Structure 1
Amino acid sequence: MEQVPWYSIDDLSRLDTPALVVYPDRVKQNIARLISTVGDISRLRPHVKTSKSREAAHLLLEAGIQKFKCATIAEAEMLAMIGAPDVLLAYQPNTTKIHRLIDLIKTYPETRFSCLVDNQDTAQALSDQAVAAGLVVPVYIDLNVGMNRTGIAPGEAVLTLYAELEKWPGVQPVGLHAYDGQLRNPDIAARTAECDAGFWPVQLLSETLAAKGHGKPIIVAGGSPSFPIHAKRPEVECSPGTFIYWDKGYQTILPEQAFLPAALVVARVISLPTSSRICVDLGHKSVAAEGDLVQRVTFLNAPELKAAGQSEEHLVLEAGEGHSYKVGDVLYGLPNHICPTVALYERAYTIEDGTITGEWRTIARDRTIAV
């Protein structure tokens, strides 16, 4: 008897497409693999940018994870709504965002919120508003370890900023944040060498701060590509995010990580425009439209299909002469990049034992929930 593929959905008549679907059993397996890789669960600070849902984050809480990382105020609020004890806003708040962070801290006093800073002006503004609200905000200095996106290079400027932060009554320096998302070499040995070279100045900086009497800073480092490398450093908190759903992109360039694809986009054939091409309902608004067209999605039940064109609501695929596809056929797509794909959907339908069992709202895809 032919085995039914893990992704198959029995009651497809209930599923309008394009649709985002999530397989909770696989999500739980990915969480278990994450924990087993790092060993000490207290060293995990997963990023919630991928799922942006309370339900997925709650599974992390149920597994014993207490620390979280996020990029937006909405993601931080979503975590506070489910009772997350420790939330790092891995973003430097400016102007209005400082007001919102202060409001969030006051609204959810049971959650310990912290954020990033990389300059004195922002830190001073944050301190002033925190003092006015009767608060002290824990902060991490954002380090530039080669991505050249935000942060300051490890060195004397960090020591100076750390000392300044200790003088301001509304902020409390607690650690260093080092995101090395530029490390994407498929060769784990080469990636490890690059990661170690980038981390060495961070380690030296940490030791220098401790030697100068500032206390030993918490180090939050890495993302998905460098996770297995930083997982071996006992002094580092690791913050991968994509692991929870995984995707084709990381499946390809991170072969050493055994996470399972746990979220797909489901599409239907809607037209047969030529004798060799088919059109499905998976446009720019339904799967992340970044990178090369032919790499944006891989159909698990039709891997031979190649993208030939895409617009807002349509994806044209080359199927070859004499193909057997019909209007109404269902395709199960694994996105190359799941994080921005999830943000295109207001909900993900949960699939268990081939059945649609419910939905997870992508509540934090909005910039504002309440605060």
Structure 2
Amino acid sequence: MTEQRWYTIKDVDQLDTPALVIYPHRVKQNIDIVKNLIDDVYRLRPHVKTHKNSHVTQLMLDAGITKFKCATIAEAEMLGMANAPDVLLAYQPGGPKIKRLILLILTYPATKYSCLIDNQQSAKAISDAAIENDINLNVFIDLDVGMHRTGIIPDDEAVKLYKYCAELPGITPIGLHAYDGHIHDADLIERTQKSNSSFAPVLKLQAELKQKAFTPIVVSGSTPTYSINAARPDIECSPGTFVYWDRGYQSAFIEEPFLTAALIVARVISLPTDTTICIDCGHKSIASESELSKRIFFLNAPELKMKGHSEEHLVADAGEDHQYNIGDVLYGLPWHVCPTVALYERAITIENNIITGEWLNIARDRIITI
């Protein structure tokens, strides 16, 4: 009798592949875990880039989470559609994105939106748009604490930018944003040391702003540094990947208690040689930015060695005298779940090992309605 594993789908014959499948009971457990790792749920501001759907958002809202972070206008609109109370667009809007953000604010008045700023030119453009539409928009100063992609160094220039924004009509600076996605050391001690080092200038900047009568909130962190930042007082924490987890984080951060909750189900479609198998899981099915060995890990076929990858096919070395047959079902854990989810318009839900429905990943699109 075949062993019944947590991920096995009894009616998998009804599922076309490749398919993104989600296990809602494990998602709920991850939400409970992230809540239990912090002293106050009010300090949680999860990033929705991983799940991109209203169903997970609702589970978080039901759990008492009221603040969210996102990276795209579509993600921001998905949150507005869910009546999320507080949404930070962790991106500096420019060009048409400013108009779209303004329209979001006007369309979803139950949601309080804010965004990032790291220079005076952008601040002025957003201020002008806000004035034109008779609104006031809260903004966070985006700080570069080591990621080196956007943001301003947390020094005197950041103080000047904060004061500049405070003097502009239409916008109000309310905080600092410090994303530390560059910190992903496997060793927790090293990770903590690097986190403390990158965060020290933020605390210094916050103290300087308080001396000037400002009261900046600090939004910081990612999933790898979540437990570190959760231990700091009065910091809003923004983990994202925790909700689904993946092979990359599972392998790197063994102390984290989160459960893998999203898989790619695939099938063996060809046996090109005596030792290789071909699987219907190409670039269009799994995030492929990493080396070939770090794209997907098959839970029920851990010995497979990936040999080749193209748009629709994945070739793996199964070894001599392997027992794989055409049609065999494989359950794959993505190494990087966030961009993998973005490849699928829908996720199939699995409960009690049975297909129960689907969750539309509506925020994978660039535009929902706005």
Q: TM-score, normalised by structure 1?
A: 0.99
How far did residue 2 of structure 1 move? 6.9
User: How many residue pairs get matched?
Assistant: 370
> How do 1:46-57 and structure 2 match up within 5 A?
46-57=46-57
What does residue 197 of structure 1 align with? Answer: 197
**Residues of 1 paired with 2:109 and 2:40: CA distance?**
27
Amino acid at match of 1:171: I
**Residues of 2 paired with 1:308 and 1:53: CA distance?**
33
What does residue 366 of structure 1 align with? Answer: 365
**Residues of 1 paired with 2:38 and 2:134: CA distance?**
37
**Residues of 1 paired with 2:213 and 2:236: CA distance?**
22
Which residues of structure 1 form unaligned runs of 5+? none
What does residue 255 of structure 1 align with? Answer: 254
What does residue 162 of structure 2 align with? Answer: 162
**Residues of 1 paired with 2:319 and 2:16: CA distance?**
27
4+ aligned runs moved over 4 Å, structure 1: none
Q: Secondary structure at the match of 1:182?
A: coil
Amino acid at match of 1:305: L
Identity of aligned residues (%): 58
Q: Secondary structure at the match of 2:135?
A: coil
**Residues of 1 paired with 2:44 and 2:296: CA distance?**
30
**Residue-by-residue CA offset, 1:92-119 (whole Å, 9 max, x unaligned):** 0001100000000000011000000000
What does residue 113 of structure 1 align with? Answer: 113
What does residue 209 of structure 2 align with? Answer: 209
**Residue-by-residue CA offset, 1:205-249 (whole Å, 9 max, x unaligned):** 1011001112x2100001111111000011100000000000000
Q: Secondary structure at the match of 1:283?
A: coil
**Residues of 1 paired with 2:182 and 2:13: CA distance?**
43
**Residue-by-residue CA offset, 1:145-187 (whole Å, 9 max, x unaligned):** 0110100000100110111111111100000000010001100
**Residues of 2 paired with 1:3 and 1:173: CA distance?**
56
What does residue 290 of structure 1 align with? Answer: 289
**Residues of 1 paired with 2:95 and 2:186: CA distance?**
40
Amino acid at match of 1:123: A
**Residues of 2 paired with 1:80 and 1:254: CA distance?**
33
1:79 is the counterpart of 2:79: yes
**Residue-by-residue CA offset, 1:15-48 (whole Å, 9 max, x unaligned):** 0000000000000000000000012100000000
**Residues of 2 paired with 1:292 and 1:110: CA distance?**
44
What does residue 322 of structure 1 align with? Answer: 321
1:174 is the counterpart of 2:188: no
How far did residue 290 of structure 1 move? 1.2
What does residue 302 of structure 1 align with? Answer: 301
**Residues of 2 paired with 1:178 and 1:243: CA distance?**
19
What does residue 228 of structure 2 align with? Answer: 229
**Residue-by-residue CA offset, 1:50-95 (whole Å, 9 max, x unaligned):** 0101111111111000000000000000001011000000000001
**Residues of 2 paired with 1:2 and 1:294: CA distance?**
28
**Residues of 1 paired with 2:172 and 2:289: CA distance?**
39
What does residue 40 of structure 1 align with? Answer: 40
Amino acid at match of 2:363: A
> How do 1:136-147 and structure 2 match up within 5 A?
136-147=136-147
What does residue 345 of structure 1 align with? Answer: 344
**Residues of 1 paired with 2:244 and 2:281: CA distance?**
19
**Residues of 1 paired with 2:295 and 2:262: CA distance?**
15
How far did residue 120 of structure 1 move? 0.4
1:357 is the counterpart of 2:344: no
1:276 is the counterpart of 2:275: yes
**Residues of 2 paired with 1:60 and 1:80: CA distance?**
14
**Residue-by-residue CA offset, 1:272-313 (whole Å, 9 max, x unaligned):** 000000001000000001111011100000100111001100
How far did residue 143 of structure 1 move? 0.1
**Residues of 2 paired with 1:151 and 1:323: CA distance?**
52
What does residue 92 of structure 1 align with? Answer: 92
How far did residue 4 of structure 1 move? 1.3
How far did residue 255 of structure 1 move? 1.2
Amino acid at match of 1:194: K
1:63 is the counterpart of 2:63: yes
Amino acid at match of 1:185: D
Over aligned residue pairs, what C-alpha RMSD do you find? Answer: 0.8
**Residues of 2 paired with 1:322 and 1:2: CA distance?**
21
**Residues of 2 paired with 1:2 and 1:236: CA distance?**
48
What does residue 185 of structure 1 align with? Answer: 185
Amino acid at match of 2:304: L
